Amino acid sequence: MSLKKGSKAPDFTANDQDGKLISLKDYKGKKIALYFYPKDNTPTCTEQACSLRDNIALLKKKGITVIGVSADSEKKHKNFEKKYSLPFTLIADTDQKIINDYGVWGLKKLFGREYMGIVRTTFLINEQGKIDHIIDKVEAKNHAEQIIETWGL
């Protein structure tokens, strides 16, 4: 399934960093920034998470709930959350079902080497559960501002 602007966001149910079951439908009526990132505690992923952390008050003021998703385990997410004081939900998609449903598993290139992995992507989901925007050229250092600007808030 190829998602695009206006598509219904695929629902999901998975555990967060605290082992709590989280479903997208729990957030109906809210704006969601659902961001997919490759791996906890790596430089660019940390930079992105910290941009969101440092601007969480502004994001909340704009009515945006942040949810991160990677294939890391609950335990790795918990360590990442504690190490960087992350004030948002991190979904442990260890079976990569959500990653595949959102189509963010793909070919990547690093230092000339090609491999398969999570392509850093953020889906901006509106209050009705539809995708308003897909950010596929993520600016990790300025990601919070990028979300607000893309959404026009």
Model confidence over 11-41: pLDDT tens digits? Answer: 999 999 999 999 999 999 999 999 999 999 9
pTM, rounded to two decimals: 0.94
- 8 A C-beta contact, residue 111 and residue 20: no
Q: Identify the bridge partners of residue 115 per DSSP, sorted by sequence position.
A: 108
Q: What is the pLDDT of residue 18?
A: 96
Tokens of 8: 């219904």
Does 81 have pLDDT greater than 90? yes
Q: Residue 126 corresponds to which amino acid?
A: N
Query: How far apart are the C-alpha atoms of 83 and 97, rounded to whole Å?
Result: 27
Residue 115: Cβ within 10 Å count: 8
Q: What is the pLDDT of residue 88?
A: 96
Q: Which residues participate in catalysis according to the annotation? A: 45
Average pLDDT over residues 79-107: 95
- 8 A C-beta contact, residue 20 and residue 14: no
